[in-house]
């Protein structure tokens, strides 16, 4: 996965079993920066998929 700043992010154990279409959003709870007001807690990562499907001419 590529972050908004162009860095690669890997998530072991994250399964997506739904059908993924352009605009599909998945929330990965507690997986990013610590919350300063709540020690020991981390924020959620929201991932929105931007998918480009090939057209039939490219197959």
Confidence label for 34 from pLDDT (cuts 50, 70 and 90):
confident
To the question of pTM greater than 0.85 for the whole model, the response is no
Total domain count, the chain = 1
State how far the Cα of 59 lies from the Cα of 45, in Å rounded to an integer: 34
Structure tokens at 54: 């090939």
* Residue carrying structure tokens 């599909």: 24
Widest CA span in the chain:
54
Quick check: 46 pLDDT over 60? Answer: yes
State how far the Cα of 49 lies from the Cα of 23, in Å rounded to an integer: 5
Domain enclosing residue 30, as ranges: 1-59
């Amino acid at each position: 996965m590529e972050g908004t700043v162009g860095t690669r992010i890997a998530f072991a154990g994250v399964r997506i079993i739904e059908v993924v279409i352009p605009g599909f959003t998945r929330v990965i709870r507690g997986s990013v920066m610590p919350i300063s007001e709540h020690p020991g807690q981390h924020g959620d990562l929201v991932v929105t998929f931007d998918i480009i499907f090939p057209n039939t001419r490219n197959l």
